[in-house]
Amino acid sequence: MPRPDTTEAVVISALRVRLAASEPKALKLIGEESKRNGTDALTARKIDQIIESVRSKKPER
């Protein structure tokens, strides 16, 4: 297997760092959106009920 070019390896490393650094910001945005939508306090039982309701309305193939 050919060894990656040094420039390519540096770019890939930089992208990984950028993605890792932006993750907390993304999680914060998701949390804020869930609070706005009122979905930040759903219980597991309520989530299961919602999933069951949506699946029952969906036509089977």
What DSSP line would sit under 6-60, residue for residue? HHHHHHHHHHHHHHHHHHHHHHHHHHHHHHHHT-TT--HHHHHHHHHHHHHHSPP
Write out pLDDT tens, residues 4-60.
556 777 777 777 776 666 668 888 888 889 889 888 888 889 889 988 998 888 776
- In this prediction, residue 49 carries a pLDDT of 92
Which residue in this structure is represented by tokens 């420039």? 7
Supply the pTM of this predicted model: 0.39
Rounded Cα distance, 4 and 6, in Å:
6
- In this prediction, residue 5 carries a pLDDT of 59
